[in-house]
Amino acid sequence: MVKIFKITGKILGKDEVMVFTKECRALKEEDALEYIYSDLGSKHHVKRTLIKIEEIKEITKDEVTDQVIQKIMEM
């Protein structure tokens, strides 16, 4: 069964620290982390060592704020 994870953390950049919160769908926590590392690394051109995860938790479909995930769940 596909779960929804909410991941918060920081990207340690050259000039300043960027804080992020992302939601993603995955089968398990490790898959969600892999998606976040891949997504943020490609968008912001940072290595995995510069992405620090502070919290990862499973959320219910009522707690989802990402509109794309909401639309997928409606299908």
| pLDDT of res. 49 | 94
Q: What is the pLDDT of residue 14?
A: 77
Query: Where in the chain are the domains?
Result: 3-74
Residue 25 has pLDDT above 80, yes or no: yes
The C-alpha atoms of residue 20 and residue 2 are separated, in whole angstroms, by 23
Check residue 12 and give its pLDDT: 92
Architecture of domain 3-74: Roll (3.10)
Q: In Å, what is the CA distance from 65 to each residue of 37, 52, 70? A: 20, 22, 7
Most confident range, picked from 9-18, 29-38, 40-49:
29-38
- Of the chain, the percentage scoring pLDDT greater than 70 comes to 100
For residue 47, give both structure tokens.
């290595």
